[in-house]
Amino acid sequence: MYTSELLLDWQKDQYEHDMRNHFDILSLHKEERLKHYAMHFAKYAGRLARGNNEEKSTERTFVDALLVCLSAANTLHQKLSYSANRTNDSILIRLTDAAGRFNDAAEKIDHLEPFVDIARESNQDILDTLLDFAVSKAVDVEKTLQARRLELRDRQFFIR
């Protein structure tokens, strides 16, 4: 279903999207980029924790988190793969756990402690969580990614 080749295609598409639409982030040092992505993951965990009090839908949070996961993988020189359903915990628990570990990795940067393996493992866990969610909700991931990237691209009206 979600083969390593497909995931690599998504990563390549994300790199092209980021070059056009998020060059401000790509211009940051890799360590600063990882901290930026860590903040995004924490934001998405917060969205899920708010439940019905959150204005953005779970599906919107799903696609935003997936886009950041792909960008983070590119920054980490990480080739993603998918391992289905390693736990029965909710998407909230799984995303919060993995986001917390990704933030731990980002915090370790400032202390000159090893962080890359923690960041890669937690980013992989985020991907697995998101794709398990997509399977459980029958989300057309390709269509969802394309639609969100188009929406984000259209915000950059001045770039042709």
Tens of pLDDT, residue by residue over 22-72, are: 999 999 999 999 999 999 999 999 999 999 999 999 999 999 999 999 999
> What is the C-alpha separation between 56 and 66, in angstroms, rounded?
15
In a domain, 44, yes or no: yes
pLDDT in tens, 90-145: 999 999 999 999 999 999 999 999 999 999 999 999 999 999 999 999 999 999 99
In a domain, 29, yes or no: yes
In a domain, 160, yes or no: no
Encode burial over 27-42: b for 16+ CB neighbours within 10 A, e otherwise.
eeeeeebbbbbbebbb
Q: How many structural domains does the chain have?
A: 1
Q: Is the pTM of this model over 0.75?
A: yes
Backbone phi, psi, residue 89, to 5°: -65, 160
Domain that holds residue 62: 4-155
In a domain, 128, yes or no: yes
Name the one residue in this structure whose structure tokens are 């188009």.
150
